[in-house]
């Protein structure tokens, strides 16, 4: 259950990144970038997130996902290109020495929480 694990890490990172004066209950929205290479199903991730957010103390939090295209660079000719599938072949020269520049990993980009009272 890939998405459950990701939902748990998002909630854990949110808690860690939250300034001390904010309670986890005050979190309203969490923005996350998801690389295409992680093959996350957005609907499943949001479903899992909603299912466990209360147990992480953030019942009011909503998850917003942004899908990040996979950007690669060919080690042979230096061409940079985006891919839809994990097929690492340079479309320019056919080289197979391809480095992934972007599109891997889950990244927390923004948290919206209610201002603490007082």
Q: Residue from 77, 80, 96, 101 that binds Zn ion (CB under 5 A)?
A: 77
User: Measuring CA to CA, how many Å separate 48 from each of 4, 10, 99?
Assistant: 6, 11, 32
Residue ranges in 88-107 that form contacts with Zn ion under rule CB under 5 A: 90, 92-93, 95
Q: Residue from 74, 83, 111, 113 that binds Zn ion (CB under 5 A)?
A: 74
Q: Residue from 13, 79, 81, 102 that binds Zn ion (CB under 5 A)?
A: 79
Binding site for Zn ion (CB under 5 A): 74, 76-77, 79, 90, 92-93, 95
């Amino acid at each position: 259950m890939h998405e459950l694990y990701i939902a748990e890490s998002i909630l854990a990172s949110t808690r860690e990144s939250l300034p001390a004066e904010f309670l986890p209950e005050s979190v309203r929205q969490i923005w996350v970038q998801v690389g295409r290479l992680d093959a996350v199903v957005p609907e499943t991730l949001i479903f899992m997130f909603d299912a466990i957010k209360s147990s992480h103390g953030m019942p009011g939090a909503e998850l917003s996902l942004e899908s990040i295209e996979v950007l690669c660079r060919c080690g042979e000719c230096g061409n940079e290109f985006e891919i839809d599938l994990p097929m690492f072949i340079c479309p320019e020269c056919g080289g197979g020495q391809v480095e992934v520049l972007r599109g891997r990993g889950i990244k927390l980009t923004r948290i919206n929480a209610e201002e603490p009272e007082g």
